[in-house]
Structure 1
């Protein structure tokens, strides 16, 4: 009986050993999955003043930078502090998830923007980067409504053509005034003619009237 029990115990132990020899724990179960850094602002222009960045988690210690790279340049961790920095944060001010980061300078069109999270929790630092986004030139605002245009054209007419169609006529009793002004007069009847293209296109010109004594 004792021999039989011993054999059963040995059989059970062998079965356990066989199971353990076959079953392997994936290395990924113990490996550090790292940190995901995502630049959520898909389009960045030379007028962009802030960007949205998502972090899968925040390390215990480290920094985050938004850097600017040349179009054909690849990121090098050794040069992190030498790149043009558009934002700097310590990780204690960040959170897992979306973070809105204000830029300290406007991005340059044609350059690439990248977010770098440097984890200094351990003795050896580890950098996690986002995908680079190329900076586009900001679109012009087009023709402004109100205010003078730099091109000197409005509605297809030049400034000179518009001013030619503008005029001021001094009247008296609804007719062109021919008499001289008197010092006692405090008002005058004026007829103003404007170009039909735009009232804003006419630039007023001041006229000084002096009394002429006969």
Structure 2
């Protein structure tokens, strides 16, 4: 090794020592190698600034999600930033998703938020009720929109809910349900008009607990449902 390269190595070593904040102490005479090693200070980890940031609880995320859903009037007035934040909150819940069974999907669910344009065009009036009835055991699905003037729109269908499945190119991770509509009707008092069935697809419940459900569907829409009181 040349003098120049030796000098370079020494400079690198000194720099490493400085950056690691090592402390060199005088070694008493007669100290063995083993004793010297035992006296070396134990390295302690330095907490990252990120560690000081509190991770929000599931309940806190749910509260913000529902608060923002209410603020945007179920999505009808949502700005681009609000839509982005709703999607982020939904993903946060997905990452903390509790183990869900198919039976938890059964029930009546009130729509709290959606990005589906066709639905948004109908629910500008806050008095309009939008809900979904699911019966996994019977394999039935029903979507209803009840307007304040007595009109209502109902769609009935069949549903096949599978066990929780992993994410792929087609669908995200969650409880997947394939559906096909079998009938529809429009009620305009005193008339009730049957309509031809239309539509089929799937939705994945990426988060599901006793009172909240987060859906992503085959069209890329996000929907948030709250379980209706029994």
Q: By the TM > 0.5 criterion, same fold?
A: no
User: Higher relative contact order at CA 8 Å, sep ≥6: structure 1 or structure 2?
Assistant: 1
**TM-score, normalization by structure 2:** 0.24
* Higher fraction of helix: 2
Larger Rg: 1
**TM-score, normalization by structure 1:** 0.25
